[in-house]
Amino acid sequence: MASLEIITYPDERLKQVAQPVERFDEALRRFVERLEQTMRDAPGGVGIAAPQVGHLFRIAIVDVSSRPKIACNGRMVLINPEILSWEGMVKGREGCMSVPDFTGNVVRAECITVSALDETGRQREYRCTGYEARAVQHEIDHLDGLLFLDRLVSRRTDLFPRKNYGSRKSA
Ligand code: NI
């Protein structure tokens, strides 16, 4: 299965608010499969959102299980996700497949509860902490037309050129 093409900053589609998914049909499941394949084909890909391939619907996938020694939920398909609770704040480094030349420091909640539908339309709830919570918040931002660039406290001190694409995780 071929990867989908990742669109990159400053493409205007990355700034749009994505639409909720209403039909949980075979076409949706096929799209989710291709989106996941695109994430897994990307170096260090731990998350992806449908707007990153120009599909402006509220669909994201997160799987940080390739990162050693962290607690996580494994593969999560997050359709029409809602964050139900936030706890703590922590600053950390993020990369994004749509911003291939930079990484940046962003403040995120340390611990969240997120509710979403999966690709079969079943309601799910996940508790996420640390790096996984960060990845989920990063992907939900994509559904609202936001990039990590929009959340930097300062472009001068919190934005870094990426020297080696493969060395950092992207979402
Ligand atoms: Ni991203």
User: Which is the catalytic residue, given 36, 94, 132, 139?
Assistant: 139
Model confidence over 4-53: pLDDT tens digits?
Answer: 999 999 999 999 999 999 999 999 999 999 999 999 999 889 999 999 99
The single-letter DSSP state of residue 72 is -
CA of 170 to the centre of ligand 1 (A): 7
In angstroms, what is the span from residue 17 Cα to ligand 1's centroid? 15
Catalytic, 94? Answer no
Is-contact 110 90, C-beta < 8 A?
A: yes
- How many of the other CB atoms lie within 10 Å of CB of 65? 13
pLDDT digits (tens, 9 = 90+) for 88-142: 999 999 999 999 999 999 999 999 999 999 999 999 999 999 999 999 999 999 9
Give the Cα separation of 111 and 126 in Å (integer): 11
pLDDT score of 20: 98
Query: What whole-number distance in Å separates Cα of residue 98 and Cα of residue 134?
Result: 17
For the record, the structure tokens of 96 come out as 């994004």
Residue 56: half-sphere exposure toward Cβ, Cα within 13 Å: 12
Calculate how far, in angstroms, residue 5's C-alpha sits from the geometric centre of ligand 1: 14
CA of 48 from ligand 1 middle (Å) equals 6
CATH of domain 12-161: 3.90.45.10
Confidence (pTM): 0.95
Residue 166 has pLDDT above 80, yes or no: no
Please name which of 146, 36, 19 lies closest in space to residue 94, comparing C-alpha atoms.
146
All structural domains of the chain with their residue ranges:
12-161
Q: What is the per-residue pLDDT for 165?
A: 58
Q: Can you spell out the DSSP letters for 74-125?
A: -SEEEEEEEEEEEEEEEEEEEEETTEEEEEEEEEEEEEEEEEEE-TTS-EEE
